[in-house]
Structure 1
């Protein structure tokens, strides 16, 4: 007898693409009428998902349903600083995103040395995401830096 384990497949495209929303257009009066622009940056990486090392852009990682930890780093390229806030966005085939907020912040001395910028020390993140209520299937991964 075989046991079937429902698993998630994450496309680790966030290792090369980070979306941010620093520029806003539209009315300030209503969130429904505010348009948000997104931009891409290569100043980020998802190092691991559920303990599995990310193989890079477009890599698939399979994780069982339950709690998974997403570790990595991101730089606020608009300010050349550690982001003040970050969000993890998982989007499945139906197009409805699930967003996780308030990651644990991790010191990244390697980024300080690589970019010769002390302001990048707090650029690391560790999101703990409960995936148990999400449908099995493939999800794209994005790191958002609200502006």
Structure 2
């Protein structure tokens, strides 16, 4: 039960951070449209496919696939967010692109062949605990947010 409370808190923190991420100190009239999507999957963390993956602090590899559902194309600007119950967060950008012909086949769209990703994240400064994983695809003033079903627990 304690783990579920931490995971719920982590999920809440992730969503709050995502909605606030468009804020800055400039006085601009910028509207950012946020859409939820399910066109992503974090398949493994350090090679493990469990729903909750336990790792030591240090370098963590997060692999999976994602694509822009509105355009039916590979996301050009893909980012990953790790947010813990204590509010500590990390944003990683520019993942290594991985070919995923299986995703292209399932969605019957050859444009999705390069929808795979590998993020290499340094978690050495993170405090031990559970972290939610969210993918964000940016395109102009639109962001598509995809909540992963996996959680990362740093020991």
Which of the five TM-score ranges fits, normalised by the shorter chain? 0.7 to 0.9
Give the C-alpha shift of residue 75 in structure 1.
1.2
Alignment partner, residue 6 of structure 1:
none
Deviates more, 1:32-41 or 1:108-117: 32-41
Alignment partner, residue 41 of structure 2:
45
Pick closer, same or farther for the CA change 1:85–1:31 going to 2, 3 Å.
farther
Give the C-alpha shift of residue 40 in structure 1.
1.8
Q: Which has the higher helix share?
A: 2
Question: What value does the CA root-mean-square deviation take over the aligned residues?
Answer: 2.9
- What is the DSSP-based 3-state SS (H/G/I as helix, E as strand, rest coil) of the residue aligned with 1:122? coil
Per the normalisation by structure 1, the TM-score is: 0.72
Alignment partner, residue 56 of structure 2:
64
The runs of at least 4 consecutive aligned structure 1 residues that moved more than 2 Å come to 29-39, 94-97
Query: 1: distance between equivalents of 2:77 and 2:132?
Result: 20
Query: 1: distance between equivalents of 2:124 and 2:33?
Result: 31
1:17-32 paired onto structure 2 within 5 Å = 30=26
